[in-house]
Amino acid sequence: MKYDYKPIDEALKTLLEYSRLDIGYVETDLIDAIGMVLAEDIYAPIDLPPFDRSAVDGYAVCSDATTSASPSNPIPLKVVVGEALASCDEAIPVATGQRIPKGADAVVMLEDVIRKDNGIYVIKSLPKYANVSRKGEDVKAGEKIASKGEIIKPIHLALFSALGITKLRIFKHVHVGVAATGSEIAEPAYGVRAYDEGLILDSTSILIRSTLSKYRFIKVNWYGFVKDDENEIANIAKMALDENNILILTGGTGPSEQDKTFRAILSIDSNAKVIARGLAMRPGRPTSIVVVKSKPVFLLSGFPVAAYIALNVVVLNFLFRALNIKEELFIEVPAQMTKRISGSIGYDSFIRVKVFKCDEDLCTEPIMIHGSGVLKSLLHSNALLVIPKNVEGFDKGDRVWVKML
């Protein structure tokens, strides 16, 4: 089958139509939900704060009693202990976060009083609700505080806990199977003698697996190294597809009608749907996508840089869309080009760049213009610059948007 080099967005749109990501959900304790994807909208069961509370350490008072207070006109108040003021000539000590006693509507800070005997002198006038956190000021009962599709972060857990929420419904892990194809690939344990024997130590699959493992909602299952044997590839792929939601194979994607990996995948399912035989992107042109038994199979380049970029802009892009994840896959920032860079008309070019501060601005400089296997270019870059397929390039001084890695 010839390469068609489909645009990325077109391929992803078709993939979402023909594939399913049936992962289900589970109810779990808060602490076990960190990094997972929320499977329901969350609404506040109560107001937060649940009552008027002090925002500072000080004394709860009637604001009206302090109207004329100043350093030259200190207002005397009697200090009492209790849950309510009997009159406005009293003050009750309160700590930060403590409920405001009945009858009080303000808190005077410790530095705004002079303590003497059993009382205090207030030296600052206070408006109503000064230094008071009002009931529901943070969150109102019934307010939506989190949406289905959000990746759960520590601040989510803090808010849920404060509201008395102890269980969350989350999507189960997305199981991603990964295997590396190619008779020339040796596992790292083989050692550097591999190069003397005409072999290549694996760097691509470990880059793919470790990148996926950054996301807690992804469970990576490793199926090892597979020789360039069509039957062996098909057998591993069948097993991996039975046990996972997504399959990623690296290597064996070069532009050849004799591509064993591609044929092996098609042999698994007579109804397999080819979404893309190559994508209009550089690096990563050989990236192919097939749907087998409603599950996506991504065939990535054996070159680490090409595979890494395709993983980010294709595989993870699909995953975020399929799960309706609310946050952006990349943080994008504007930066100024330090030199001209050319693209490839007809292909989206993903340029490895370094973003750095220059004067009061951000600047970006290409690390490597060409080359899909140069690992050091990834190590020294911290962002990707996308040159769209209909743009010749960017000039020095142009302001561009870059995707932070």
Structural domain 25-48+142-171, CATH architecture: Alpha-Beta Complex (3.90)
Q: With a cut of 90, say whether residue 398 has pLDDT above it.
A: yes
Give the Cα separation of 338 and 353 in Å (integer): 11
Is the domain defined by 53-133 classed in CATH 2.30.290.10?
A: no
Report the pLDDT value the prediction gives residue 257, as an integer from 0 to 100: 40
Residue extents of the structural domains in the chain: 8-23+173-322, 25-48+142-171, 53-133, 331-404
Whether 256 contacts 316, CB under 8 Å: no
The SS3 call for residue 226 is strand
- Tell me what the mean pLDDT of segment 299-308 comes to: 94
Mind listing the pLDDT tens digit for each residue in 34-80? 999 999 999 999 999 999 999 999 999 999 999 999 999 999 999 99
Identify each DSSP E strand in 112-245 by its residue range: 113-116, 119-122, 132-133, 144-146, 167-171, 174-181, 185-186, 200-201, 218-226
Q: 260-268 and 230-243 are packed helices; what angle lies between their axes, rounded to 10 degrees?
A: 50
Measured in degrees and rounded to the nearest 5, phi and psi for residue 386 equal: -100, 120
Quick one: fold of 8-23+173-322?
Molybdenum Cofactor Biosythetic Enzyme; Chain A (3.40.980)
Instruction: For residue range 90-137, list pLDDT tens digits in order.
Output: 999 999 999 999 999 999 999 999 999 889 999 999 999 999 999 999
Length of the chain: 405
Rounded to an integer, what distance in angstroms lies between the CA atom of residue 223 and that of residue 244?
Answer: 11
% of residues, the chain, pLDDT over 70: 97
What is the topology classification, in CATH, of domain 331-404? Beta-clip (2.40.340)
Q: Answer for the pair 320, 329: CB distance below 8 angstroms, yes or no.
A: yes
Among residues 67, 137, 142, 126, the alpha carbon closest in space to that of 97 is found at 137
Measured in whole angstroms, how far is the alpha carbon of residue 326 from the centre of its chain? 9
